[in-house]
Chains A and B, each alone.
Chain A
Amino acid sequence: MGREEVLQLEELAVKIRKSTLTCLSKVKAGHIGGSMSMVELMAVLYGKVMRIDPKKPQWVERDWLIVSKGHCGPAVYAALATKGYFKEDELLTVNQGGTSLPSHCDMNKTLGIDMSTGSLGQGMSSAIGIAWGHQYRNRDNYTYLILGDGECDEGQVWEGALFAPQQKLDHLIAFVDCNEKQLDGYTKEICDLGDLRKKFEEFGWDAQECEGHNVEKIVKAIERAKSVKGKPHMIILHTIKGKGCSFTENIYYNHHVKFSEVEYAQAMERLDEQLSTIREMEV
């Protein structure tokens, strides 16, 4: 990857961060922590990796994305808007009555959402079923899955973890957005997940770890995953909950956050500064 492309993806990530906050700016509350920690992954998937056509959201041979941590819908909507699935203005309707952009991902309401999620653990199985369906039809498209690390408390994740290698689903690429926190605090203090990479490896996955806010490293991890045949892939992304949002990054309870107009303005200002810095580097 050239430096220019890296900067473009970093710029896209900041734009997605801004749009994620825009999504929640009307109701001034939302699942900001987990949305912000997966922004670089969104930028990589929608900015470079995924084979998609926003004009044909139902194209069956597209790459599919299942966001099992469905409460992070706003980050996905922000990414979808940048690709033109719908107009940026629509982001302002998030979580308001009649919206097509509900807090949790809904495939029947939002263009570009490939599976309804929200009850944690379930996207794991849905993604496996989707990858299985494509493999059955001999399609070459990839199925991407995003889990939260707190979500890995769910037994269903580990049912799927056993099942997917048995089916040799090597076009399934999963990520754990490992921000080390869940709603009530640090995962280590609530239900310690131990070494997730080793656990998935033991379950038969091709597993690797990666800095989750480094777009270049995420791209490389995905490329490496694609080179391993016969196994599903797991990429543990080490991230920071609330990353890049000035009023969420350094607070303890940052799963679902309420914010003021002033906090919103300050956060957007900081992100604009980041954008300017990246653009200067691009020049």
Chain B
Amino acid sequence: MAAASQPTVTARPKSGNSSQMGALLGGAAAIMFVATLAGAYFSVRNWIGVGGDDGFIPNGLKFDNYAGFMTMTSALAASLAAEWALMSARLNQRRWASAGFGLSAVFLLAAMNIVWFIGQRSGLVASETPYAILFYALLASILLLLAIGVVAAIVTLIRVLGGHVGGAELLHGRAGNWLIHLATLAATVGFFLIYTYR
């Protein structure tokens, strides 16, 4: 009786999807954050100059390219896995979609592990050179963005399992993927700054 007399509640039509918009705006902010660190890196590098005893890169500092390359590769793999997962979700293949987002989270966790390893083994002392401050600031930012990517992948995985993402309902999945791609972008920028443009 009571249930029958209740008016039907329907969601009011909105002008857009807030999850996607939030991911876009947050992504734009994160890109500006990383871009500022990259700008500071180039600015200080050009100001001090490369080479010599008082050059931008401390004398004797050697990085193994392997760790940096693996960070970037792991992050790229996470992005690819996330896109594959979203494609599977579009085809209503929930099992493959879940596997893809799970794999994406694992790849991002691996990338976080390598970034932590790079920071621990660098041997740089923050108080000694401007490079050290920029180096650790970049690593901390990449670590944070990778962590956001992990959370996004896990939340999207839960949404897939719960049936909130799949078929025509892909907006939340797309929003999560943008955050994962953002983490990949940050890892790639970090790789080029630390290993390529030395």
Q: Do A and B bind each other?
A: no
- On A, residues with C-beta under 8 Å from B are none
- On B, residues with C-beta under 8 Å from A are none
